[in-house]
Amino acid sequence: MSQFKFGACLAAALALTLSASLAAVPSAPDTQDKPQDSASDKSDGSKFEPFKPEEKTSTGTVTIGGQAISYQAIAGTLIVHPKDWDDVPRDPKADKENSSPAGDPAEAKKNPTAEASMFYVAYFKSGGGPRPITFFYNGGPGSATMWLHLGAFGPRRIVTSTDAHTPAAPYSLINNSSSLLDATDLVFIDAPGTGFSRIAGKDKEKAFFGLDPDAYAFAEFISQFLSKYSRWNSPKYLFGESYGTPRSAVLINQLEADRLIDFNGVILLSQILNFDLSPDGPTGNPGIDLPYQTSLPTYAATAWYHHKLPSEHNDLEAFLAEVEQFAMGDYARALAAGSDLGATERGAIAEKLHQYTGLTVEYIIKADLRIDGGEFRQTLQSGDNMTTGRLDTRFSGPDIDPLSQRADYDPQAAGLGSAYVSAFNDYVRKDLHYGEGRIFKPRIMTFGTWNFQHQLPGQGDRPLSSRQGSNVMPDLANAMKINPNLKVQLNAGYFDLATPFYQGVYEMHHLPIPANLQGNIEYRFYESGHMVYAKDSSLKMLHDNVAGFVHRTSNLGK
C-alpha cells in the first residue's frame, strides 16, 4: 500500500490499479539481488537460495461457526518462467562452477533466463474427503497478498479500526471466525517481485511486469501447484481483489483456453475490467463520460454516510437505485449533449447532482457537471478541512493542502497499512516459520513500468497500444463461453471510490456473452469500502456469500 495515490491526472490514472494492498506502505528498498536477501544464512547453517523451491510446514487450529478446524499450513516458493521458456532439462554440468546451460557459456552466464520465485502460503484442512481449493491474490499491480490473507480469509485476522486510523503497535491477531477454511482449502500467492517473491535474469521486469506476462506467471504457478499437491481433480476457484480482478479475467482465459483447465468459479472483489471507467483520471480522456456516471452512486453513498446530503434518505439501497437510474438516464443524456446542453437543463442537472452528492450547485456547474474521484474527495468535507478516503470513503483525514483541486492522500490507506505490514511480518516468522533474515516487500513500485498492452482473445498479434483503453472484459467473456458452466461472483463495497461498485455492475451487464450466460453471474454488495472485509459485519457477510458460492458450484456430492 502507499499513500502516494494522488497527484496529476496521469498519476491518478495509474494509481487506480493500486488495490487495498498498495495504499499506505512505504516502498521497501530494492534488495532482491543483494546478498543479505538472496543468500542469507538459515538457522541450520545453510544458505537461502531464492530460486530453488522450498516449503516450511506448520499446523494450527481455527474455530469457525463454533467448530474447531485443524489445518496444515505450508509457506514456500515455486519457480516459474515467462512464456516461450524452453523447459528442456538443464545440462547437469550447468550447475557446476565455471559451467552454464547449453549454448554459448559466456553469454548464458551474462544473461541468465528470467525467472520468478513465487511465494505462497497454503492452508489444507486436516482429514475429510475431497476439498475445493481457492487461489487468492491482491492487486496493485505490485502488491503482496497479506491483505486478503490477514484481513479476510486466513485462520488469523488483524484487528483494525472500522473507519478511523488504527493506533500504532502493538497490534492484535485473533482467531478468524470468518476464515474460508470451512468451505475450501486456501492458497495465498504473492505476485512476482512482491512479498517474499523475487525475480531475476535478463529483462526480468519485462518478463513479469505486465498485464499478460503477470497472468502467465500465475497460470504457471497454479499448474505447478496442482501437480505438486495432487489437486488436479479438486473443484477450483480464483479469488482476486482490485487489480487482481483483471488478472483473474486474463488468467481464467489462459487456464481454460490455453491449458484446458476448467475452473468451477471466479470470485471478484472490487472489480475493474475496463480501465476507461476509472474515476481517477477521466478528465484526461475527454469525450468518455461513463466514469462520471458509474461513479455517481458511490458519491451518493459517501455523502449519505457523512451526512452531507440536503435531504434525509433512510433506505440506502433504495436511494442508490434512484441514483443509478438518474446516472444512466437524465445525467447520461446531459453529458452526451456536451456544448449543446442548454442553460436551463444544465442548471436542473446541477441541482439534481447537488441533491445526490452534497456538493454545491456552483461547484458542479463550474466543473461542467463532471467531477472526478479526486475532486470529489477533496471537496465533500472541505468545510471541515477534511479529505475523504479513496479505497474506503467512510474514512476521513486532515487535508494535506486545503487549496488542492484533488485529494493529496488516502486516509484509509494511511490508517490501515502499518497494522497489516507489522502483523504479517510477525505472523509469517513466528507462526509459519518462514522469512528469517529476509525482507518482506508489501509493495513494489511497478505502475511506472507496468506494460498494459494486452493480447485480446481471437485478435492474433494485435495488442492494445496503451494502458488507457485496456479492457479485459473479452477475456472473462471468452472463458465463460469456452466453459459455459463457469460461475462468477462479483463482490463490491458501496464506499469504494477506487473501483466503484456500479462500475463493476456496468461491466458485467456489458460482457460480450449470450444472454443465458448472464445467469452465471451473481452480485453481492456491502456497506463497506474497497477492502470489504475491513468492516467486521461485512467480513461475515463476505464469508457467507463466498462459502455459499463454493458449496453451490463445487459439484461435490452430486
Q: Are residues 269 and 295 in the same domain?
A: no
**Structure confidence at residue 410 (pLDDT):** 74
548 lies in a domain? Answer: yes
Residues 248 and 186 in one domain: yes
Q: Is residue 403 part of a domain?
A: yes
Pairing of strands 198-200, 115-125: antiparallel
Residues 378 and 519 in one domain: no
CA-closest candidate to residue 211, choices 512, 470, 525: 470
Q: For residues 373 and 280, is the Cβ–Cβ distance under 8 A?
A: yes
| 80 and 222 together in one domain | yes
The answer to whether residue 80 sits within a structural domain is: yes
- Rounded Cα distance between 549 and 502, Å, is 21
Domain range spanning residue 90? 9-276+417-553
Residues 242 and 313 in one domain: no
Do the domain assignments include residue 3? no
- Within 10 angstroms of residue 31's Cβ, the number of other Cβ atoms is 14
- Which pLDDT score, from 0 to 100, does residue 160 have? 87
86 and 27 belong to one structural domain: yes
494: its cell numbers: 458501496
> DSSP readout, 242-260?
TTHHHHHHHHHHIIIIIT-
Whether residues 13 and 154 fall in one domain: yes
What pLDDT shows up at residue 466?
A: 53
| Domain C-terminal end among 395, 411, 427 | 411
Same domain, 404 and 424: no
Helices (H), 358-493: 361-366, 373-379, 411-430, 473-482
The last residue of a domain, from among 411, 444, 473: 411
Residue 102 located in a structural domain: yes
pLDDT at 105: 47
Are 192 and 105 in contact by the 8 Å Cβ rule? The answer is: no
Task: In whole angstroms, give the CA distance from residue 306 to residue 441.
Answer: 35
Our measurement of the distance from residue 185's CA atom to the centroid of its chain's CA atoms, rounded to an integer in Å, reads 20
Q: Measure the CA–CA gap between 24 and 302, rounded to whole angstroms.
A: 21
Residue 44's pLDDT is 47
Asked which of 411, 445, 466 is the last residue of a domain, the reply is 411
The closest of 230, 127, 177 to 547, measured between CA atoms, is 177
Calculate the CA 405 to chain-centre distance: 27
Residue 2 inside a domain? The answer is: no
Q: pLDDT of 475-488, one tens digit each?
A: 999 999 999 999 99
Strand partners, 175: 156
Enumerate residue ranges in the chain where pLDDT < 70.
1-50, 86-111, 409, 460-469, 558
| 281: in domain | no
Same domain (yes/no): 302, 438: no
Residues 270 and 300 in one domain: no
Whole-number average pLDDT of the chain: 86
Number of domains in the chain: 2
Judge if 67 and 166 occupy the same domain: yes
- Is 520 within the bounds of a domain? yes
Tell me if residue 346 falls in helix, strand or coil. Answer: helix
| Same domain flag for 438 and 309 | no
Q: Residue 210's domain is classified under what CATH number?
A: 3.40.50.1820
Q: Rounded to two decimals, what is the model's pTM?
A: 0.88
Res 213: pLDDT: 95
